Structure formats: structure tokens, C-alpha cells
Structure 1
Amino acid sequence: MASGNAIRGSRVGAGPMGEAERGDAAPRFRISYWCANGHETTPSFSEEVGVQPPETWDCPRCGFPAGQDQTTPPSPPRNEPYKTHLAYVKERRSDADGQAILDEALASLRARKLIR
């Protein structure tokens, strides 16, 4: 059976929030951004801040970068393939460096008589 309490979940003094209670909204302007998939995004910016809007904006639908020019949107980011730890090591070290490190480690183990 319902209790019939109309203000359930409210607090005393709570009422509808409208422009009269919040005050006037700050003046805003909108800029359109387009991504490579043709999605249009129009975020709004405050006129009072005085900061220039960004050149690119992330598309909320696909995540690609979006630019202000509809005819030439920014290209999607290039996906780099996954690299293993060994691939990163090979980028930093040459084969000669790797051989020198291996020889040093083997010499250390032989000195402690852990290997022959």
C-alpha cells in the first residue's frame, strides 16, 4: 500500500530549481567540430572567459579528433601495434650491446660458480 507522501525523497524547503533561484546563465557561444567520420559536435563555451576555443575536440561518438573545418577534418590517429618488452629493448640496444651484457652476466655467474 502506498503511503501517499508527495514529498518523499525531498528535503524541507526544496522546490523547483529555476532561473529565478539560480540566477542568469552566463553568455555562451557554440562552435561546430567535425571528425573524419562526419559526426558533428557543438560544445558551448563561455564568452566571459576570454580564452580561445581549442583547435580540435574529441568526438563523443567515435573518439576521433574533430576540427572546425568540415571539409578537411583531422585524420584519425594511427594505431601502433602492440610491442613486446623485447621489442622495446631492441629499440634501445644494438646486438653488440646485448652480446656485451650477456657476456658480462655469464662471467658473473661463472665467477660465483653457479654455471660452468
Structure 2
Amino acid sequence: MAGSNVIRGSRVGAGPMGEAERGDAAPRLTVSYWCARGHETAPSFAIEEGATVPEQWDCPRCGLPAGRDQQNPPEPLRNEPYKTHLAYVKERRTDADGQNLLDEALSALRTRRGRG
């Protein structure tokens, strides 16, 4: 059968005729945001009762926070390095506290094993 990839029942220009079939588009508000690197982002928001436009928006190009004031964009977020469990423990306890806990744990272990 020739032409097996033809879409049956369609013709060039077929499809919705636009606004008349889909209804009117909701009124929109375009707001510009700028990040610390100078990128501009302009998302559109629906204008309706109770809808709020956010003060900050994530820049789609670099991921930094973007604000509505071009002269004073928000500061980039400080990226904290990954901390291990030991790093968090060392924040809460001094080396002397750690040594005391280790000594207690070792003495309890030796007592249980009978090497007291």
C-alpha cells in the first residue's frame, strides 16, 4: 500500500481556526526579572482576582534568583559544601568531649567482652 505514512482524514490547513473555537485567552501581565549576571527573564502571569506576582523568580539561564529591580538584583545564594556526619558532630562537641565518649564506649565494650 503506497503512502502508508499519510494521515487519513486531514488536509493542509486543517485544525482549529483560532480563538473562536478555543475561547478568548486570559488577560496576561508580563513582568521582567533580572539576575545578578544581568540576564532578563520575562514570564507572563494571568491577571485575576487574588493572584500575586512573585518578588523573585529563578533565572532559566543560570539558575540564580532574579528580582524585579534591574539595578539591585538579589544576591546569589551561598552554596554550602556537603558536610559529613562527623563534621556535624564536631560542631556540637569538643575534641575533649569526643575523647571522653570514646573512652567510655571502649571501657563498656571491654567490660562486655570480659577484658575489663
Above 0.5 in TM-score?
yes
Output the amino acid matched with 2:6: N
> Does residue 36 of structure 1 match 2:66?
no
Question: CA separation in 2, counterparts of 1:40 and 1:92?
Answer: 43
Q: Which structure 2 segments of 5+ residues have no match?
A: none
What's the secondary structure of 2:113's corresponding residue?
coil
Q: 1:1-116, aligned counterparts within 5 Å?
A: 1-3=2-4, 5-7=6-8, 16-17=15-16, 18-113=18-113
TM-score (norm 2): 0.80
Q: Deviation at 1:60?
A: 0.3
Q: Deviations over 1:55-84 (max 9, x none)?
A: 110000000000000011111112222323
Q: Which structure 1 segments of 5+ residues have no match?
A: none
Bigger drift between 64-73 and 83-92 goes to 83-92
Q: Deviations over 1:73-113 (max 9, x none)?
A: 11111222232322111112222331232122112111112
What's the secondary structure of 2:101's corresponding residue?
helix
Q: Deviations over 1:25-66 (max 9, x none)?
A: 111101100001111001111111422211110000000000
Question: CA separation in 2, counterparts of 1:16 and 1:89?
Answer: 64
Output the amino acid matched with 1:80: E
Question: CA separation in 2, counterparts of 1:114 and 1:67?
Answer: 67
Question: CA separation in 2, counterparts of 1:78 and 1:38?
Answer: 18
Question: Residues 20 and 89 from structure 1, CA distance in 2 versus in 1: closer, same or farther, beyond 3 angstroms?
Answer: same
Among all aligned residue pairs of Structure 1 and Structure 2, give the percentage whose two residues are the same amino acid. 66
Q: Deviation at 1:115?
A: 5.8
TM-score (norm 1): 0.80
Q: Structure 1: which 4+ aligned runs deviate by more than 6 Å?
A: none
RMSD: 2.3
